[in-house]
Structures are given as structure tokens and as C-alpha cells.
Amino acid sequence: MTTDLLAAAAVAPGFMPPDEGRALYAAARAVQVPGPLLEVGSWLGKSALYLAAAARETGRQVVTVDHHRGSEEHQPGWEYHDPSLVDPLVGRIDTLPGFRRTIAAAGAEDVVVAVVARSEVLAPLWSTPLALLFLDGSHTEESARRDQDAWVAKLAVGGTLAIHDVFPDPADGGQAPFGVYQRVLGSGEFTELPGTGSLRLLRRTSS
């Protein structure tokens, strides 16, 4: 049930505050155009469960795209590095087992489709218009711009673009997602919807 998925999302490991997660769920639930919900950047599945709750209610699928090797800040020597997530056989982070446990424990395997790939590798193979696109991948300027270039054009007119960790003030966080937000809004193809915290929401009005 939706309430079970939302409860599971609230306690799942991850970095999304509860109010932003609920806002993502509400935005996904409110989309009126057909198509799947796709997120770029999944970590251990917290945000995927918020999307899954909306998908369960609206008869959609959630597609998660992540190489599951962690972003820059998750690597050894960085602030968010977790040694327990390192695969000892290859000596690299592997979040896929934890992601799968999160989705399975919540009973969301019927609505969540996990694609293990770099987003820019999958994007050229993707042709289905998206109802919602959630950008929450690596936050370097290069990778954030790459995700924008690869995926925003695949959002259907009337669909919703959600961007996480948008901080106008550099003192609050990195500026790469804020740059994506500014470029997309400046394109003239989107109108802004009410956001929550660092989550920005925009609706595509033209292509």
C-alpha cells in the first residue's frame, strides 16, 4: 500500500529530508501526462520509494538509472564515504545490493525497474517520453550538465522535472544542480511549480 511505501521511504538510508521526499511523491502523483517516472541517481533507494508510492497509485513504473559506484563525495577520503559499501573483491563502492534490499524490503519490486548504467550511456537508447524526470546524480558541474543534456529533452510536454540539492547560496551546498535549474528555467520551455527545501519542480510547457 502507498502508506507502507511512504513509511519505508522515511526510514530508508539516504540523504533526502522527509519534507522533500513527500514533495517528490506529491509531484509524481500529480503528473497528468502518460509515461514512466525516471530518476537519475538512486544511491540506496530512498527516493525511489517515494516515487514508487506515486507509481503504485497511478499505475506507472519507476525507472532508476545509476552505475552504483557512488558519486565523488562517496569515494575514499571524502565526506560521505562509507567503507561498508566497498566491494572487497573489486575494491570499489557497490550500492546495488543495498538498493535491491531497500526496494525488496518495501515490496516495491513490481513498480521499480533498476537500470545499472551511467546515465549518459543509457540516454541515447531511451525513446519513451517521460512523465517525470528526477535529477539527483553526481553533483559536479560536468556530470550535472551531462545529465541535463542527456535527459531533459526526453521529458514529455506537460511532464515534471524535479531537481534535488538546488542551493542558490554557495554557503548551503554545491552549485551544479542550481546551474541546471537556472539553465532549464531560462530555456523558456518550463514554468516553475512550488518547491520544497532544496527540491525544485518545473513543468514542461513546450519543446
C-alpha–C-alpha distance, residues 194 and 42, integer Å: 23
Percent helix, strand and coil across the chain, each to the nearest 5: 40, 20, 35
User: Residue-wise over 89-104: b if at least 16 C-beta within 10 A, else e?
Assistant: eeeebbbbebbbebbe
- For 23, residues 6+ apart whose C-beta sits below 8 A from its C-beta are 195, 196, 197, 199, 201
- The one catalytic residue in 67, 68, 74, 139 is 139
Q: Which residue has the cell 511532464?
A: 159
Q: Indicate the SS3 state at residue 163.
A: strand
Residue ranges of alpha helices (H) inside the chain are 2-11, 18-30, 46-58, 96-105, 119-122, 141-151, 176-186
139 is catalytic: yes
Catalytic residue numbers read 139
